[in-house]
Amino acid sequence: MLIIGENINATGKKIAEAIRTRNSSFLQELALAQVAADYLDVNVGGGKGSTEQEIEDMKWLIDIVCEVTDKPIVVDSANPEVIEAGLEQGISLRAERSNRVVMINSVNAEKAKLEAIGPLAAKYQVGVIALAMDDNGIPPRVEERIRACDTILEGLSYYNIPAKKIYFDPLVLPIGVDTTQGQVTLKTLEQIKARYPEAKTTVGLSNISYGLPQRVAINDVFLLMLMYAGLDSVIVNPLRSSTIGSIKLGEMLIGKDAHCKGYLKAYRRGLFNK
Amino acid sequence: MEDIIALLKENVIQGRKTKDDEGVDGDSIGMPGVIELTQLALESNIPPEVIIEEGLTTGMQVVGDKFAAKEYFVPDMLASAEAVSGAQDILKPYLEDSDAMSKGKFAIATVKGDIHDIGKNIVATLLKGAGYEVDDLGINIPPEKIVEYVREYKPDFLGLSALLTTTMLAMGETIEALKENGIRDSVKVLIGGAAVSEEFAQQIGADAYCVDGFHAIKVLEEFQKVKA
């Protein structure tokens, strides 16, 4: 299971402020704390300043994060120009650091998005997170989400991006608003795995528990169900030990942990004592 | 008669639309729910206005309080709102006869560039439950569409929703467009969504910022008082 750490995201006010004031030590600590993550997602927010400002922010942020960790970076923005700046920064750092910007977050079935992100993913040879949605938002039903995935696969193949570089996100809507949505995500995930066996899957979980108490418990259990349905990666807060614990347990129980080594290692390191 | 109304209120609080529903406390399956009690109330010649004001609306107020106190959660509140909405569908034909019309027309939309509709839908459901005639324009609605709508359908209230810091700016654009077309003062503009704030509402010249659907109901009641 590929764990993408979500903690450096400027939708959080503290983080937006730290980026604005160039508080590098605060942000570097956030990066360092995410030990349990395989990749680090990096997002500078958007909309409040100019595109130029966002580009500067993204370059700076990737630079200071790469100063303290060699974990691969996922460049996260709604603006393709900001994504490109992040990818370019990754290249320019290559000489001195071992990090790589390895993934784009994200594309969807919108034509303009595909035409902007497709060439970037091809040029920089990075993976791309692909949301199962189109211009009209998140479809409430499985069939429409799969149709969006078909459009994305076709759109990206035009730029010679192989399916194995695509991380489809089946998307999650709140169970508290519509109790069919757990199944919609699970079935969409199953169908993605069946239709495009080479493609990968990932998910941002927390929407499932919107409006309900005990959100972490709901997220962790849903994560296990998604793992059984074939999930390859997850975007989470890697500091949450119950979530990392769920991943270790899940990998063991579905047979992806030879001799239960991952689970036992986590146990011996005290992950389950917290 | 008071018994039916008291039961109605209690079942709104329990979120029991029909006799088959479990309710928050979960021990009344088989007992009449909001739909059955509304029919019973009509058969007992209780005026529809009384059913609405003393049964449905007071019940929803309690739900709002419980939600604010974190005793109730989103699904609890939606169950109650759906029960009330079902009762209103039954009462509608009677109301039009007796000329007790809705509290006003409320148009709601997620603004241009934003496709998030969960919050907007919850607010729409709650306002419908509170007796407003709600017109949901949908997601990603550009200012010109909203101007066109306001001009043609003359809603009393306009609710604008945005989740993102990138898209909340379209709320200001929408208000500007209403001004440019000389119809800004024809409608009260309320804004809501994760990215926006009281401060932002003042900045862009909205009439109010609402934290959630129940808050929106309170804000609207204040507007009604001022009008009266």
pLDDT tens for A52-77 read 999 999 999 999 999 999 999 999 99
* Cα distance between the two ends of chain B: 30
* Cβ–Cβ below 8 Å for B115 and A138: yes
- HEC string of chain A equals CEEEEEEEECCCHHHHHHHHCCCHHHHHHHHHHCCCCCEEEEECCCCCCCHHHHHHHHHHHHHHHHHHCCCCEEEECCCHHHHHHHHHHHHHHCCCCCCCEEEEEEECCCHHHHHHHHHHHHHHCCEEEEECCECCECCCCHHHHHHHHHHHHHHHHCCCCCHHHEEEECCCCCCCCCCCHHHHHHHHHHHHHHHCCCCEECCECHHHHCCCCCHHHHHHHHHHHHHHCCCCEEEECCCCHHHHHHHHHHHHHCCCCHHHHHHHHHHHCCHHHC
Of A45, A47, A210, the CB nearest to B118: A210
Tokens of B132: 């407003």
Of B117, B122, B165, the CB nearest to A47: B165
Of A133, A138, A176, the CB nearest to B74: A176
* Cβ–Cβ below 8 Å for A210 and B74: yes
In 3D, which of B99, B73, B91, B163 has the Cα closest to residue B128?
B91
Backbone angles phi, psi at A199, to 5 degrees: -70, 155
- As a dihedral over the C-alpha atoms of residue A143, residue A149, residue A150, residue A155, rounded to 10 degrees, the angle is 150
Using an 8 Å Cβ cutoff, are A62 and A19 in contact? no
Asked if the interface predicted TM-score (ipTM) of this complex is over 0.85, the answer is: no
* Cβ–Cβ below 8 Å for B140 and A135: yes
High-pLDDT (> 90) share of chain B, % = 75
Examine the pLDDT at A110 and tell me if it is beyond 80.
yes
Of A11, A78, A173, the CB nearest to B118: A173
Highest mean pLDDT range out of A146-150, B73-77, B160-164?
Answer: A146-150
Nearest CA in chain A to B70: A213
Average pLDDT over residues B104-119: 92
* Cβ–Cβ below 8 Å for B168 and A213: no
Using an 8 Å Cβ cutoff, are B127 and B57 in contact? no
Whether residue A51 lies within 8 A of chain B, CB to CB, comes out as no
Query: Domain ranges in chain A?
Result: 2-237, 240-274
- HEC string of A60-107 equals HHHHHHHHHCCCCEEEECCCHHHHHHHHHHHHHHCCCCCCCEEEEEEE
Backbone angles phi, psi at B71, to 5 degrees: -85, -35
Average pLDDT over residues A221-232: 98
Tokens of A58: 């993204």
Whether residue A12 lies within 8 A of chain B, CB to CB, comes out as no
Nearest CA in chain B to A47: B166
What confidence score (pLDDT) does residue A60 get? 96
Examine the pLDDT at A104 and tell me if it is beyond 60.
yes
Look up the CATH number of domain A2-237. 3.20.20.20
Examine the pLDDT at B194 and tell me if it is beyond 90.
no
pLDDT tens for A169-204 read 999 999 999 999 999 999 999 999 999 999 999 999
In 3D, which of A239, A235, A243 has the Cα closest to residue A200?
A235
Separation CA A245–CA B132 (nearest Å): 48
Contacts of A210 in chain B (CB under 8 A): 74, 118
Question: Which domains are seen in chain B, by residue range?
Answer: 2-98 (1.10.1240.10), 105-227 (3.40.50.280)
> Please, is A95 exposed, middle or buried when counting C-beta atoms within 10 Å of its C-beta (0-12, 13-18, 19+)?
exposed
What confidence score (pLDDT) does residue B99 get? 47
Range with the poorest average pLDDT among A32-36, A186-190, A270-274: A270-274
To the nearest whole angstrom, how far is the Cα of B77 from the nearest Cα of chain A? Answer: 10
Q: Which residue has the higher pLDDT, A99 or A217?
A: A217
Contacts of B139 in chain A (CB under 8 A): 136-137
What confidence score (pLDDT) does residue A46 get? 73
Contacts of A133 in chain B (CB under 8 A): 115
What confidence score (pLDDT) does residue A50 get? 86
Of B118, B121, B166, the CB nearest to A46: B166
Q: Which residue has the higher pLDDT, B50 or B96?
A: B50
Contacts of B78 in chain A (CB under 8 A): 176-177
What confidence score (pLDDT) does residue B100 get? 56
DSSP state of B186: G
To the nearest whole angstrom, how far is the Cα of B67 from the nearest Cα of chain A? Answer: 10
Using an 8 Å Cβ cutoff, are A68 and A40 in contact? no
